[in-house]
Amino acid sequence: MISLTDEQFEQLRAVNAEVNSDSRFVGDPEIFRGSRYTAFPENMFPASKDHALEKIRRLVALGWPREELAVTTCWTRPGDNTSYHAVLTLDTNLGTFILDALYARVMPVDRVSYDWHMRERPGVGWFPVTVDYR
């Protein structure tokens, strides 16, 4: 858990805003002419997972501990299997926050009505989300 300072919160806000505005969602067919790859061109993130990973990369470069930054998957529209999504989550002394490609602001996790699925534990693996944040 991170004891969040005002300076750190500003870093979260800046990284979230930068990645969300510096990039655009594009599908694999547009980038790779129909093939699916895990690499992506600079400033093009085919999926929300890639947004989350880029935010992690930038925060780690600023000195954030990688083990505190987790990719978490969810459905943005409960009951709709086409709305699968990934966000960056972190637990702090002020609660759990998300950095989300769908929101300009860093959000407390209980402010979104997502159906949470899996959460990464860096260096260990993926685990089902057992907490209902709503």
Q: Is residue 133 part of a domain?
A: no
Q: How many separate domains does the chain show?
A: 1
CATH number at residue 102: 3.10.620.30
Domain that holds residue 121: 6-26+43-128
Look at residue 34 and tell me if it is in a domain: no
Full-model pTM: 0.80
Q: Summarize pLDDT for 42-54 with one digit per residue, the tens.
A: 443 457 888 899 9
Q: pLDDT tens digit string along 57-109? A: 999 999 999 999 999 999 888 777 778 889 999 999 999 999 999 999 999 99
* Coil vs helix vs strand at 32: helix
